[in-house]
Amino acid sequence: MENSGPFRVLVFSKTSAYRHDSIPAAIKAIEALATSMKLFVVDASEDAGNAMTPSSLAQYAVIVLLHCSGDFLDTAQVDALQQFVRSGGGVVAIHGAAAGLYDNQWYGALIGAHFDMHPDPEPGRVQVEQAEESMLNVASGRENWKDEWYNFRSHPRDNKNLKVLLRGDTTSYHGGKMGEDHPIAWYQEFDGGRSFYTALGHFDEAYADEWYMDQIKNGILWAAKRQPQISRPQPDTTDAAQRFY
Over residues 173-194, the pLDDT tens digits come to 999 999 999 999 999 999 999 9
Q: How many CB atoms lie within 10 A of CB 158?
A: 9
Q: Binning pLDDT at 50, 70 and 90, where does residue 5 land?
A: confident
Over residues 134-147, the pLDDT tens digits come to 566 666 789 999 99
- 3-class SS of residue 107: helix
Report the pLDDT value the prediction gives residue 139, as an integer from 0 to 100: 61
Question: Which residues have a Cβ under 8 Å from the Cβ of 45 and sit 6 or more positions away?
Answer: 10, 11, 12, 13, 14, 51
Report the pLDDT value the prediction gives residue 153, as an integer from 0 to 100: 98
Average pLDDT for the chain: 90
Q: Can you give the pTM of this predicted structure?
A: 0.90
Higher pLDDT, 130 or 82: 82
Report the pLDDT value the prediction gives residue 158, as an integer from 0 to 100: 97
Over residues 179-234, the pLDDT tens digits come to 999 999 999 999 999 999 999 999 999 999 999 999 999 999 999 998 654 444 44
What the chain holds in terms of domains, given with CATH numbers, is: 7-244 (3.40.50.880)
Q: Binning pLDDT at 50, 70 and 90, where does residue 2 land?
A: very low
- Distance CA(60)–CA(8), nearest Å, equals 5
SS (H, E, C) 210-223: HHHHHHHHHHHHHH
Residue 133 has pLDDT above 70, yes or no: no
Over residues 38-75, the pLDDT tens digits come to 999 999 999 999 999 999 999 999 999 999 999 999 99
Report the pLDDT value the prediction gives residue 140, as an integer from 0 to 100: 77
- CA distances (Å), origin 121, targets 139, 145, 158, 176: 25, 10, 26, 11
CB 211 within 8 A of CB 236: yes
